[in-house]
Chains A and B, each alone.
Chain A
Amino acid sequence: MADLTTLLERLHDAGVEFVLVGGLAAVSQGAPVTTFDVDIVHRIDPENVSRLLVLLDSLNARHRGQGDRVLRPNSRDLSAGGHCLLMTDLGALDVLGRIEGGRKYEDLVDHARDIQFRGRTMKVLDLSLLVELKRESKQPEDRQRLTILEATLRRRGDR
């Protein structure tokens, strides 16, 4: 059973530095969409990668799409700046070194909002930049979702 909220909680409590991006970032800011995974951009440095790996191990993380083969993430995967698409015991987790335009953690953190949940503070990429990123994306699913995100941004601005 997916429990993406607890997955976020565990990332926070493990001391992992990350910015929440993607669908769940949009959901947390009021977009009426449903998303099946957690997307994060993590800070790539040895200590942060090490904290992330300890957590991933405790969550039984493995790369998705490997059939019956169980392939565990390692520090090289998480330091390379690419995308690690993982399944954990709490649900799907995409660990992204860089996203659209080659943006990494340091490029995104100044565009993040702090949101409070379960007594924690988490950095979430602001909806206005999420919309910009979706505009840059060539993925059909991103184009579809763009209309909803733009409407949410306008509606939020109206208040």
Chain B
Amino acid sequence: MGDAESNQTAQVDLSLIDEALKMSPLERLEYNDRMVNMVEELRAGFAQKDHG
């Protein structure tokens, strides 16, 4: 592996990729949905706090 590639890989958490690769496509899609909804909830929470 060259230096440039080694540096790029260092920026990415490979353990997250390994966890994702263990899942089925459906599990990955459903995980994304849960993440999206969690982020939306957090955003709504921050918006409420900002207006509160």
| Residues of A bordering B, CB below 8 Å | 1-5, 8, 24, 27-32, 34-36, 91, 115-118, 124, 147-148, 150-152, 154-156, 159
Is B21 a contact of A30 with CB atoms below 8 Å?
Answer: yes
Number of interface residues of B (CB under 8 A): 27
| Residues of B bordering A, CB below 8 Å | 8-9, 11-14, 16-21, 23-26, 28-33, 35-37, 39-40
Interface residues of B, dominant DSSP: helix
- Contact flag A116-B35 (CB < 8 Å), given A5-B30, A152-B17, A155-B14: no
* A147 partner, pick from B8, B20, B40, beta carbons under 8 A: B8
- Contact flag A148-B12 (CB < 8 Å), given A4-B29, A117-B26: yes
* B32 partner, pick from A35, A116, A147, A152, beta carbons under 8 A: A35
* B20 partner, pick from A5, A32, A150, beta carbons under 8 A: A32
* A2 CB contacts on chain B under 8 angstroms: 33, 36-37, 40
* B17 CB contacts on chain A under 8 angstroms: 30-32, 148, 151-152, 155
Bound-complex Cα distance A118 to B8 (A): 35
Bound-complex Cα distance A135 to B8 (A): 15
Instruction: Closest B residue to A155 by CB, please name it.
Output: B17
Is A147 a contact of B29 with CB atoms below 8 Å?
Answer: no
* B29 partner, pick from A32, A117, A155, beta carbons under 8 A: A117
Is B12 a contact of A159 with CB atoms below 8 Å?
Answer: no
Can you identify 24 A-B contacts, CB atoms within 8 angstroms? A1-B37, A4-B33, A4-B36, A24-B29, A27-B29, A29-B25, A30-B17, A31-B17, A34-B32, A35-B32, A116-B26, A117-B24, A117-B26, A117-B29, A147-B8, A147-B12, A148-B12, A150-B8, A151-B8, A151-B12, A152-B21, A154-B9, A155-B17, A156-B21
Smallest CB separation, A89 vs chain B (Å): 14
* B12 CB contacts on chain A under 8 angstroms: 147-148, 151
